[in-house]
Amino acid sequence: MNPFPILDYIKPELFCDRNSETQELISAYKNGRNVTLTSIRRLGKTGLIKHLFFNIKKNKEDYRLLYIDILKTEKLQDFIQVFSRALLIEEKNNSNWLKKLSVLIAGIKAKVSIDNITGEPNFEIAYSKPEEAVQSLESIFEYLAKQKDKYLIAIDEFQQITTYPEKNTEAILRTNIQHQHKDNYIFSGSSKHILISMFNNYGRPFYQSSQMLNLERIDIDVYAEFIKKKFNDAGKQIEFSLVKEYISFLDVHTFYVQYFFNKLFTYSTKVVTKKHSTTVFKNILNENEFVYLNYRNILTSLQFRLLHAVAKENNIKSPNANSFLRKYNFSQSSVNKSLKTLIDKEMIYHEDGAYKVYDVFFSKWLERL
């Protein structure tokens, strides 16, 4: 098995560090605290949650676990469907499943069928009135409250609820969640500023209802030692300094580090050299070049030029500085407008006082233009 998975969490042996964050999450749910977990995209939030769940199952703790990704949801009805489906799949492994199934689907007014291949429930929900969705959501929480089991429920990309057309979604969810005294929640997401606003602004329904936990980058030395060991365990030699060089080069950004070393592990022989690393990195950029070139078609010329400039500068702190504007022939108004668009499109993000291109590989490709 390639020891650098990139698609999903597999097992603890292939998961690097995050010990303090894991212990903080354990302390939270054992002491009845909800947690809001934030970080930039692809830094490992989902992996951390699944690592936590793996350990809870391994230790046979008395918790039912639900992981719900709501990134693709667009309205409250979608949220109910995703939430209900995850709950039904989890309840399938419990006693009195059919009885519980009938209670739950009656509450959400769903048409349910069972997939002949996977055995998992498929169902359709269609509400003609907004209040029907609210009533169905209340039914889900009433169902949870009546169960003897304790639930730990992770809702990923939680900031998505702020985009729903139902303007009172936050208040509806907060009202229901605050009465779930035996159950705990992890609200995670990559839009840090939105989540901070949701949970720390007075007047918002979720104000101070959750402990904040921001996921930082893994310590570079710890990460390098982990990666070197995985190569060594497979009978491959690689220098610690080479591993550390590429982790730093890839901004210690978990997904891109994992992807690079996944490819390097596949490509390399028993002794991994700088030449192997260089070749693999060039191959990655070449494989994705058609995607990067297509950005020129979907962005304005000015937006693409700004992306290029941010990549070239590698952490631009003052995009309105005269030196930056003159160097790349921008006006202040055009930079501000394009920067906002690129942030909204999640192609640029702001961290520690600097602007960066989100996709590390894309940023390195832009640097070479």
DSSP assignment of 277-314 equals HHHHHHHHHHHHHHHHHHHHHHS-HHHHHHHHHHHHHT
The neighbour count for residue 89, using CB atoms within 10 Å, is 14
Task: Judge residue 278's burial from the number of C-beta atoms within 10 Å of its C-beta, 0-12 exposed, 13-18 middle, 19 or more buried.
Answer: exposed
Residue listed under structure tokens 């995050």: 18
Secondary structure of residue 185 in the 3-state scheme:
strand
* Residue ranges in the chain whose pLDDT is less than 70: 93-101, 110, 112, 121-123
Between CA 17 and CA 138 the distance in angstroms is 38
Q: What pLDDT does 109 receive?
A: 75
Residue 321: predicted pLDDT: 95
Residue 108 has a pLDDT of: 76
pLDDT at site 146: 87
Pairing assessment for the beta strands 151-156 and 121-124 based on DSSP bridges: unpaired
Q: Which two tokens stand for residue 247?
A: 């982790």
Residues 185-201 have pLDDT tens digits of 999 999 999 999 999 99
Q: What is the pLDDT of residue 161?
A: 97
CB 362 within 8 A of CB 292: yes
pLDDT at 287: 96
What is the pLDDT at residue 265?
97
Q: What is the DSSP letter of 3?
A: S
Amino acid at 283: N
Residue type, 288: N
pLDDT in tens, 85-142: 888 888 776 666 666 667 777 777 767 677 777 777 666 777 778 788 888 899 899 9
Question: Looking up tokens 């993000």, which residue turns up?
Answer: 349
Which domains are delineated in the chain? 18-214 (3.40.50.300), 220-367 (1.10.10)
Q: From CA 168, how far away is CA 176, in angstroms rounded?
A: 13
- Residues whose CB is less than 8 angstroms from the CB of residue 240 and which lie 6 or more positions away in sequence, other chains included: 224, 225, 228
